[in-house]
Chain A
């Protein structure tokens, strides 16, 4: 019998049915229903199974899609990151290869782990030397500023550092410098991992800086200390001297005639001279002395450890002598020499500025004294300087306040003693100092140029006075006025004189101008021209202080002059000195042969008068006759002595 499905068998059993016997109607239906239910159960089972499969598959597919998408995204992110990383690395390589810098890394024990970039800069130092070692263990590194201890403390504190300069020896022994900056590196959890940073070669900069430093302290031409450096030394030396109670001397050295050399031979030669002189000075000063070039042709020596002023003298003399030695220039030998001024501490001052100023003044004195010598500073030197400044101001005031006055010194005929004229001499009625002679103020006036105003005043006053005498009924009295160099060289001289004469309504023929021989001979050709102009106005010209200059007779004969005044120095000893007597005689004779009037100055003794009479000198002037006197007294003199000159004047 066919084996029934055990469910069906069961179903039959449950209903107490047997396959062999058909069921009762009620049971039949029940059986059918149960069988039907079985089919339905089976359907449901299959439905669930298939549905589960479908949904599961769909879910799996969705998951798979998501995974795929995520994987794609991940891959593209990875690709991006890889590309970005590659780009970053390329950039880094560019940076390190193109620059002169290098990039370094160290581990947590400050040992180098890598160096990249420009690493071949320093001979004798390789990357291999560095890797695995700390900076202080690598041979050749000098300690940085502050020492290794300070740097290591900074590293231990995990601090960044910037531009720390390390120096080290290269294979050839020269020094190289690297500027290094570094920063600490930390892991995401904060753990210290090491350092990284950059380095840069700064050897060139360092050397340049050193050069600048040197330049700042040394004179580039001579290699001597320069001004600032010297003053540092001076301040220090003074401080020491103060403490110890010792003396210090400053020797201010100015080369003579350097400007002339520079102008004549050019600057290059001038520099050579400076160098030569610098070397001579260097050789001449003592080990303990400090030599510097202040600039131009000025040098200065700081002498410490002086036993006495004598030491300073000795030094100064040595310097003067060595600088006086000739210098070979362009095939010739030139003599320059130097003027040296000496000021000492504490005698002349206790600070650098004062000492320098006084040494400078002393140096000028040395120049004044004829150059190629040395002078110690003395207070007396200082006077004229101060006085000059005061005087200058006073002069202006004097003119404004009419403190000047003209005195007149009579010139008389040697034979007759009659008045031949007067020389107008300026005096300054100083409110405090009394009546001052010209040598007390004229030089200053010359220096400042104020002489012009004074000269103008003298001319006007003299002309006015001359005319005043005429107006007073006196016979015409020639007035002689001294001309200074400035006045004589002034283009407007003729104009000024013309103006004075015209304004005073004075007869130009009565005006006499006294010009020193030296002045005229400075530029004889020009002098001829000027004098010619003046003569054309009718003014008379007298050569003053004749016999002291170097006139040639030929030139003299060409000058349109009227008289020669023989210098007082010659007249002084004519009675006793045969040489002077001879010269004086010669001058008188020469004047006569040139048809010039001869006038002797500073005649004070009868003996001189006798001589002059004997030699035939025309006129004389001096204390023997009269001091310079106020205008009023001239009238009395005229009445007493008569006025003999006029006839001579009118005869010409």
Chain B
């Protein structure tokens, strides 16, 4: 496949002229950018117009990733022309949070007949129950389909996001790209957060809205831990994701990120379900652990590719070859908050772990979608999620 990337800044315009020559039916154009572009959609429209035959998908961010650079107020674009992989695009509206699963299922039903190897999904980041959306999508797709993607971001404002639908930035929508053909997809998703303190029980919640932990208002607990930083709610709540244990007797933890708080109801809205009755702990991280996590995720994504190649070609040695790799890096807004100015260390770390010919593009999201080990695809939070896409040699 052919692969290139570029960016757009409002004061500078495109970094390079749009490579319209790459436009084809088998071209995938991914673009991620600041929320502001929904108000100033000119570059998006231009892009979509220039790549009329291609599948153009993308969403707003809490920070754009291109290579090892993390930027704001920009658009990043990656263009991949596949040799023998077909693409399909589907979109669905999510009128309200309760419609998340239905919307996901709708997408899945549309794409399933194509028998995709992988589905990349980009969803609105607010007004969505990410875990329900993923459940719905996965249920409608054939088992074994790799699903990766993320929830659009809105900086640290948590107000409104956009997703490209028919070349337009739209709020309250979800879009998915099916990759059908001989592509190698590998994923890695790591956190680097540690649960600390006492295990609590969610005593009152509804869906992805948490009211009480151990009979006391959850918001009060967060305020306590945040101290002076409580002023920065809801953004600062990202500093303490919640680790929930779905089953009392298992060790598997799901990490959940706060997306919104409501003073009136003393409630906190998370990116995914926080079921009543399950145990939960606060998590915190530090810089090194996060970077380590990011590197680990990349290693996973790269390693998997190696393993797959092994199985396909028993004769050739395990060696990462040099064919172009598109690495979709979707990290979490919460990590950005912790890493602060050092955020690019994680994008550097990932790139370091990936093959030399990797083009890394991605964004800081309000929720990452990816398989996790042997578990089916799910919504993750506070992770660095990498999806490597390469076309197998014919």
Contacts and interface: CB of A to CB of B under 8 A. Distances in A.
Interface string A1-21: 000001100110000000000
Interface stretch (A41-49, A373-381, A384-392): A41-49
Contacts of B239: 48
A535 interface: no
B157 interface: no
Interface in B338-377: 338, 340-342, 344-345
B227 interface: yes
Interface stretch (A51-59, A134-142, A564-572): A51-59
B345 A6 contact: yes
Contact of A34 (B198, B287, B341, B345): B341
A38 B343 CA distance: 12
B225 A51 contact: yes
Given A59-B197, A60-B198, A63-B198, A52 B341 contact: no
Contact of B341 (A7, A47, A49, A56): A7
Interface string B221-236: 0001111110000000
A48 B344 CA distance: 22
B114 interface: no
Interface in B279-294: 282, 284, 286-287
B196 A44 contact: no
B192 to A, nearest CB: 14
A304 B349 CA distance: 131
Contacts, number: 50
Given A34-B341, A37-B341, A47 B198 contact: no
Contacts of B198: 56, 59-60, 63
B225 A49 contact: no
Contacts of A11: 341
B271 to A, nearest CB: 21
Contact of B286 (A47, A49, A56): A49
A41 B341 contact: yes
Interface in A45-77: 45, 47-49, 51-52, 55-56, 59-60, 63
A577 to B, nearest CB: 141
Contacts of A44: 229
Contacts of A6: 345
Given A52-B196, A60-B198, A45 B287 contact: yes
Contacts of A55: 197, 224-225
Interface in B229-270: 229, 239-240
Contacts of B226: 48
B227 A60 contact: no
Contacts of B344: 10
Contact of B342 (A7, A56, A60, A63): A7
B310 to A, nearest CB: 35
A60 B196 CA distance: 11
Chain B binding surface, main DSSP class = helix
Given A56-B197, A60-B198, A48 B345 contact: no
Given A6-B345, A49-B286, A52-B225, A41 B197 contact: no
Most buried by A among B196, B198, B240, B341: B341
Nearest to A38: B341
B227 A45 contact: no
B196 A45 contact: no
Contacts of A37: 340-341
Nearest to A51: B227
B286 A41 contact: no
A11 B338 CA distance: 17
A41 B227 contact: no
A48 B240 CA distance: 10
Interface string A473-513: 00000000000000000000000000000000000000000
Contacts of B340: 37-38, 41
Contacts of B287: 45
A152 B239 CA distance: 75
Contacts of B286: 45, 49
A63 B197 CA distance: 11
Contacts of A60: 197-198
B290 to A, nearest CB: 11
Interface string B27-44: 000000000000000000
A55 B284 CA distance: 13
Contact of A52 (B197, B228, B338): B197
B382 to A, nearest CB: 15
A34 B224 CA distance: 29
Contacts of A52: 196-197, 225, 240, 282, 284
B204 to A, nearest CB: 19
A47 B227 contact: yes
A48 B341 contact: no
A49 B227 contact: no
A11 to B, nearest CB: 7
B242 to A, nearest CB: 14
Contacts of B229: 44, 47-48
A31 to B, nearest CB: 12
Interface string B161-204: 00000000000000000000000000000000000111000000
Contacts of B228: 47
Q: Of A6, A34, A52, which is in contact with the most chain B CB atoms at under 10 Å from its CB? A: A52
20 contacts: A6-B345, A10-B342, A10-B345, A37-B341, A38-B340, A41-B340, A44-B229, A45-B286, A45-B287, A48-B226, A48-B284, A49-B286, A51-B227, A52-B196, A52-B282, A55-B224, A56-B197, A59-B198, A60-B197, A63-B198
Given A52-B240, A55-B225, 14 more contacts: A7-B341, A10-B341, A10-B342, A37-B341, A41-B340, A44-B229, A45-B286, A47-B227, A47-B228, A47-B229, A48-B226, A52-B197, A55-B197, A59-B198
The 8 tightest CB contacts between A and B, nearest first, are A56-B197, A41-B340, A51-B227, A59-B198, A7-B342, A63-B198, A52-B284, A55-B225
Interface of B: 196-198, 224-229, 239-240, 282, 284, 286-287, 338, 340-342, 344-345
